A and B are shown apart, each in its own frame.
Chain A
Amino acid sequence: MKFGILVNEGPYQHQASDSAYQFAVAALAKGHEIYRVFFYNDGVNNANKLTEPPQDDRNITRQWSALAAAHNLDMVVCVAAGLRRGIKAEILAPGFNISGLGQLIQAGIEADRLVVFGD
């Protein structure tokens, strides 16, 4: 199956991004395709490469970047939501790209299922 994933919450404050990541890992392991991961609302903060959690905690941003590199994932950060929160190209972690909300609608059109992770 072809999945789209929408992440609407930032890292650490909320489990949404962890759950979305674990869902993506599980789906890929089962041989499913991830059409796109779209980051919206505070979810854009997942793309911040300045993220630096304590040593014994997971680095959510780095996890996403690694997953994207391993599976050639298309990870899109909403430009308007990002600008509002200071997420710009210069602080984008590897694998993330900035684009418009149209990419979310496109994911809804092209994917078999669009799964929302939020509050």
Chain B
Amino acid sequence: MSGTQAGEGGNSKVKRFMIVNRKAPYGTIYALEALEVVLIGAAFDQDVSLVFADDGVYQLKKGQQTKDIGQKNFSPTYRALGDYDVEKLYVERESLQARGLAPEDLLVPVRVLGSTELSVLMEEQDVVLSF
């Protein structure tokens, strides 16, 4: 979908970027640094979507408390994504179910999709960044 008109970032091209989050929020730094990519992608006026799969679904779990592990709770940022026009959040159904989670357990509204539907969506992207 290259060639679409530019926004404030001054880019003449808008591409579809999909950030795939596969890791739990705090055991490694992937979730936090992936979120940085999402925000910069949005700042560059790109068409950014997020997928949460495998342990990545835990990134959106409500009620995260990080005080005892001495790390910053960055989960409120997911709720602010709408302010950056990042509104396409997809969660893989199989990953959610395997962990005993339901959409009500998540801190933002998401679209729950099966892995087959997700693979179709991935196929439509210009750039897939997996973390």
Interface locus among B30-38, B67-75, B82-90, B112-120: B30-38
Contact partner of B131 among A8, A101, A104, CB < 8 A? Answer: A8
Chain B residues touching A, majority SS: mixed
In the bound complex, do residue B131 and residue A118 qualify as a contact, i.e. CB atoms below 8 Å apart?
yes
With CB as the reference atom, state the residue of chain A lying closest to B22.
A119
A109 contacts B40, CB within 8 Å?
no
Residues of A within 8 A of B126 (CB): 108
A88 to B127, CA, bound (A): 29
A105: CB under 8 A from chain B? yes
> Cβ of A116 < 8 Å from any Cβ of B?
yes
Given A81-B33, A100-B40, also A108-B127 (CB < 8 A): yes
Q: Which residue of B lies closest to A113 (CB)?
A: B127
User: Closest approach, in angstroms, between the C-beta of B86 and any C-beta of chain A?
Assistant: 13
**Does B13 lie at the interface of the complex (its beta carbon under 8 Å from any beta carbon of A)?**
yes
Residues 98-119 of A, flagged 1 when their CB comes within 8 A of B and 0 if not, give 0011101110111000101011
Indicate whether B58 reaches chain A with its CB closer than 8 angstroms. no
On A, residues with C-beta under 8 Å from B are 6, 8, 40-41, 80-81, 100-102, 104-106, 108-110, 114, 116, 118-119
Further contacts, 7 of them, CB under 8 A, given A109-B13, A114-B127, A114-B129: A40-B33, A40-B37, A41-B33, A102-B43, A104-B37, A105-B17, A108-B127
